[in-house]
Structure 1
Amino acid sequence: MTHKSVHIAFICIPNYNHLLMKISNYRIEKYDHCRENAAMLEIFYEALNFETLTESEAYGVVKMLADFGGQLGLWSGVSVMTICEFVCLACELIYMFTQLHLKKYRMKKSARENE
């Protein structure tokens, strides 16, 4: 939290002579009323110090592309391995299916020859 110091100063503005020229055609009561009830507020910087803030991305483009490539490689590798596993499973199922039918065929053939 930044703490700023506050300085208060006041001055009668506008100047009495200047006001006298401006309202010379008015009654003096109006001048006194204006003088007592008028206010001017002036806000200014006491010192012109400033801070320079520099922002940069926390996750750069190069790192993002590298991570994206890594994820892409991971998932495409997993999918290729999955496809290979399914091909191996299909080959084994076909082999087992043909062996089972070949065994049944041989048993039927040997049964016919024995008769």
Structure 2
Amino acid sequence: MPASSIASAIVSSIVTAILESPTTPTEPVQTALIRPFPSGTATGKLAGPPSMGQVVINGKTLPVAPALQIRNEMNMIVIPTMVGTDVQVRYQMDGMGNVWRIWLLTPAEVAALDSQ
């Protein structure tokens, strides 16, 4: 097959693809993944970052575990100073009654809570 035939076929394919493409941009599909949380977690509103070994959730002051773990909306561990105020969270207590895990919730996770 001559090179000119190949080039002509390629150009023809490109022109056809351009002309047949949709004229309105398509919107990306938004998917929201809800993280699986361990059983025994509770939900609440975190008043702010932990301070002086305590945290305020739903207006109640709770002690925090020495190994407190805070995970952001992307499930990455963050330092307490990165936590804002009035944040919807899921949290888990340890056997001593200390908060030892906190998950900052995404808007989709908050909406899933509201629909329950």
Q: Answer 1 or 2: which has greater strand percent.
A: 2
Q: TM > 0.5 between the two?
A: no
**Normalised-by-shorter TM-score class:** under 0.3
Of structures 1 and 2, the one with the larger relative CO (CA 8 A, separation 6+) is: 2
Using structure 1 for the length normalisation, give the TM-score: 0.20
